[in-house]
Structure 1
Amino acid sequence: MKVDAFDFELPPDRIALRPAIPRDSARLLTVTPEGLADHVVTDLPRMLRPGDILVFNDTRVIPAQLEGRRVASVDGPRSGPEARIGATLHKREGPRAWRAFIRNAKRLHEGDDVDFGAGVTALASERQADGSFLLAFAGDEPVELLLERAGRMPLPPYIAGRRPADARDRSDYQTMFAREEGAVAAPTAALHFTPALMATLAAANIGHETLTLHVGAGTFLPVKAEDTADHVMHAEWGRIDAATADRLNAARTAGGRIVPVGTTSLRLLESAADEDSTIRPFEGDTAIFITPGYRFRAVDGLLTNFHLPRSTLFMLVSALMGLETMQAAYTHAIEAGYRFYSYGDACLLLPATG
């Protein structure tokens, strides 16, 4: 399909720069075959049915945004003025090595060292065509501790371009389920959940499960191709254990619906599902790219935020509900003043079943 089909105009004032307080007071647009309806997130328990299962991503965002300076190279210091280097880690490649997108990449070369301050240095190698490098961190301390000292929370570019990250983002950009460190972007649909909401869901016999998918910065990369068939999807690491897969399969057999919270959970569930819709244990990289025409096997709905125009995530929700339906839903959301993107409001997508 032509990427232009997934375009729409979004007024800049619809981009949320802070989350709703409390988190579960965000607005919720439901999209079903019967039409659109405006709610708030605390209404979710009555939007679902007893026996339904919400699936959360328990990845934890690390302070993956680094600012430093190039200090040396394998053949001696580079000539010319000192280069300032920005790095956004996006995929772990080993105990001390991360693939990173680099700002000012033209000034960095394979073999250069980068000093990020606070005693944190890394050696740059394996430059890729997209300008990314492999950064190998020096020393013996766990890289997570180094990032706590020198790193900042990696806010999405549409927020970071309008305000700097601050102390609030350390908690605001982390879900209540965050446990497994390794993400450089939050599974933001789950930001709307609170312990009180989870208690209300449990009282309504709506269950939940967790999986892990470490969201990479590639999730924000624009689709530069003119046709979706030419887009190369970024890979991310994920895991679903056997016990979780068994419980999800049993819930679905009993008539419950599997509703992932966020596109990351959905993508991993679909990566783990067989042709017969059985969810299998999974551990490894997934680069699944879901566009209209895809046959969903593992999920019966989706709770998600509002996504960027021309993005792989808007393509995904259009595959689930239909492009015309999602264009109409987004038009309504814009006109009704919904807040968009990572810190914005939510929508519950429930396609026709059977």
Structure 2
Amino acid sequence: MSNTFDAQAPDGPERYLQVIGPDGSRTPCPELDDWVQDVDTRVLGDLYVDMACIRRLDQEGTALQRQGELGLWAPLLGQEAAQIGSGRALDRNDFIFPSYREHGVAYCRGVNPHDLLRMWRGAAPSGWNPYEVNMANQQIVIGAQTLHAAGYGMGLKLDGSTSAVITYFGDGATSQGDVNEAMVFAASYQAPVLFFCQNNHWAISEPVTRQTTGYIADRAKGFGLATWRVDGNDVVAVLAATRAALAHVRSGTGPAFIEAVTYRMGAHTTADDPTRYRDALELEEWAAKDPLDRIAAHLDSLGADLEALKLRASAAADALAAGLREAITTMPDPSVDDLFAHVYSHGHSWLEGQREEYRLYLDSFAADAEVSR
């Protein structure tokens, strides 16, 4: 199944679906238009505010890491449309298996800022209860979450559920065995799983051209998945494609795959220096495709009150930033017992023995200090 057409990109023809162009112009798109008939100026404004909020969330996360408050942070700058467009297309009962960069999807799910930061600070092994928001905790192991999604989707089908599963990963993860095996299982069992690839062009320091000589979405076709390739910086196109793909997987006709063509404007993580491997001219090219700027330009062409919208977005972003700062200043450090608290769902004698050995180990330092006096 192919849902792509030739859209003109600044660097030449690129095959993907697009609704709102980089200059804010509306592009007719027969494949997607019916899926976003409800997207009026109010909805566009809400999507803009969402993207402004997660951009600010990302800036705060990076700043907190630089100030020593977080151990690490994975920036999402440039990928706001891919995350908000897909996140807002999901039903509340759909289950999400993210990678480590989906802070925007967590925001859509209502994850508390305190819970979002706990893992990155090292204050807890995971941030939130997955079943309270129907979203698994962020996965650090590249691609592992896709197998979890395939298994969960198979379970949904056996249960006769009408819910769907979505799993997120980057272009680099498509070279991992886990992702390919997950697509095999999902296709074989016709599981209701949507594989969502944010092709941000860089797998750490390796360009996407080293991952594949063609389109990533074409790989999924080989596994029998329905595929959509969209402009990942166009929040309306992403929203529409995700709605269409979810309708497909819910119909019982098998899994689907979306390749959202976007760009990682920042570093892979705050431990990375992208200036060592990336050309500054590439950044300039993609800055012209900014997801927030194009929606603002489109709203302006529709006669929307852009100044009022930007004030609303700024106020919402400020409130979110304040919540993140408040979370950091009030977050308690973990105790020794916290290391052993959630390894098993019930008591375990082997684990209790480890806990006691670790306590004795720590006590030995106090005893040595006393002797040295």
Shorter-chain TM-score tier: under 0.3
Structure holding more strand per residue:
1
Larger radius of gyration: 2
User: Could you state the TM-score of these two structures normalised by the residue count of structure 1?
Assistant: 0.25
Structure holding more helix per residue:
2
